[in-house]
A and B are shown apart, each in its own frame.
Chain A
């Protein structure tokens, strides 16, 4: 079993839809949970990070962490064509300097 599992999609939704992206993990040592957005042929950019169970909201984006189930989600409200990208979840251990472990990424297309 891989440390981080993420459905690669692709996921195609109409503009304005609510998008739900998910990852599961197996390593209990993970304490920091990140979501990155990667446009084609570009480096990843950090969207959000959390370090506890619960929800964190930033504009149209909501990150959700359930440590008991080892499950994290990213919700995108009122999705826009500009949200079309690959979304990668990433996780790290408690110490701030441990390497990130990435999911495979989910390719999202928002159709106008």
Chain B
């Protein structure tokens, strides 16, 4: 399958700082990227959906001013956690999807390896 990378894999920061996480599709053009958050022993919770060149669509309860998403190219999306606090500590995972082949066909999402954020 296609490869999606994330950087950094782990970050530790002080409360109040901002952290940027990059998500790259290495061998395909990702027209849509998704950002998820996963707390320990919990499932993946969708935070936002971003389409290249458009503003991200945020899920209910996710602060768009706190979690800034930029999808400036077909291979790169970034998530910036602004003024991070300890409660933002979590595992952040992105996924990428190419253009749909047909309306009725399943369009697979490929997941990155995740970024573990710890806010002290």
Contacts and interface: CB of A to CB of B under 8 A. Distances in A.
Given A99-B49, A105-B43, A49 B108 contact: yes
Interface string B104-120: 11111111111010000
Nearest to A51: B106
Contacts of A18: none
B84 to A, nearest CB: 20
B100 A104 contact: no
A100 B109 contact: yes
Interface string B86-107: 0000010101010011111111
A88 B44 CA distance: 9
Interface of B: 1, 4, 6, 32, 34, 41-44, 46, 49, 91, 93, 95, 97, 100-114, 116
Interface string A30-53: 001000100001111110010100
A92 interface: yes
A87 B110 CA distance: 16
Tell me the dominant secondary structure on chain B's binding face: loop
A44 B107 CA distance: 16
Given A43-B93, A88-B43, A104-B43, A96 B100 contact: yes
B112 A96 contact: no
B116 A102 contact: no
A97 B44 contact: no
A79 to B, nearest CB: 21
A88 B104 CA distance: 23
Given A43-B93, A46-B108, A96-B106, A103 B43 contact: yes
A91 to B, nearest CB: 11
A102 to B, nearest CB: 5
Nearest to B49: A99
Contacts of B114: 41-43
Given A43-B113, A96-B107, A103-B43, 8 more contacts: A43-B112, A44-B44, A92-B106, A96-B104, A96-B105, A96-B106, A99-B49, A104-B42
Contacts of A92: 106
A95 interface: yes
